[in-house]
Amino acid sequence: MDTLIREFDVALRAIAGVTRAERANPAARLAPDDGGLDEQERRHVAGLMRINHVGEVCAQALYQAQKLTAHTPQVRAQMDQAAREEEDHLGWCAERLRELGSRTSLLNPLWYAGAFAIGWVAGRAGDRVSLGFVSETESQVEQHLDGHLGQLPAADQRSRAILEQMRDDEVRHGATAREAGGIALPAPVRAMMRAASRVMTTAAYRI
């Protein structure tokens, strides 16, 4: 029962945008926005940060499901640690969206439910498959963050600081999963993951 309550609490906070970042926001050391973004740039950055927030909602769901289905205490602990660090990302993205005068995705309950189901399937397939799924997911997220960093206006150093720290964390999570025994996923599975990501990013940019 305690586990169910905790998982429900994680889901509710992820969906509602009420997060508990343990690490300081990387943008905290920078000066507040000084009006360097015009309205079109601000809307575009908000769309990018909403996509990133959705990605972190999905990450919470994936890691929680994979933690619940892990076959060994070591993998369970690894999933739990990664989820805690991803929750920092969730908080940072939500804070940046508020600064930009925007909101999180209205479809967050759908994103969370879908990602949880996928994570459950990956976890039930065994720890090596589950770790391989983490590795592939983080590799695709790294590419996605690189693309967003290339789209940020030069004046938006606050979003840049957040995304750069997120990218560093994702790279580390992927490497840790591979070192723990994660296997390479078949090409069709990787392709389906990329296709699902495109659907999510297209919808989350606006909704």
Output the tens digit of pLDDT for each of the chain's 207 residues: 555 556 656 665 666 666 677 788 999 888 777 668 889 999 999 999 999 999 999 988 998 899 989 999 999 999 888 888 888 999 999 999 999 999 999 899 989 899 999 999 999 999 999 999 999 999 999 999 999 999 999 889 999 999 999 999 999 999 999 999 999 999 999 999 899 888 999 999 989
Q: What are the domain boundaries of the chain?
A: 37-204
Q: What are phi and psi of 135, to 5 degrees?
A: -60, -45
Specify whether domain 37-204 bears CATH 3.40.30.10: no
Q: Which segments of the chain does DSSP mark as H helices, in order?
A: 2-16, 39-68, 73-99, 108-124, 127-151, 157-179, 187-204
> Alpha carbon of 126 to those of 112, 172, 183: distances in Å?
22, 22, 11
pLDDT of residue 31: 79
pLDDT of residue 204: 92
* Cα 161–Cα 167–Cα 169 angle in degrees, nearest 5: 105
Among candidates 137, 125, 146, which has minimal Cα distance to 48?
146
pLDDT of residue 7: 63
The reply to whether the predicted model has a pTM over 0.85 is: yes
pLDDT of residue 151: 94
> Which 3-state string (H, E, C) describes 113-144?
HHHHHHHHHHHHCCHHHHHHHHHHHHHHHHHH
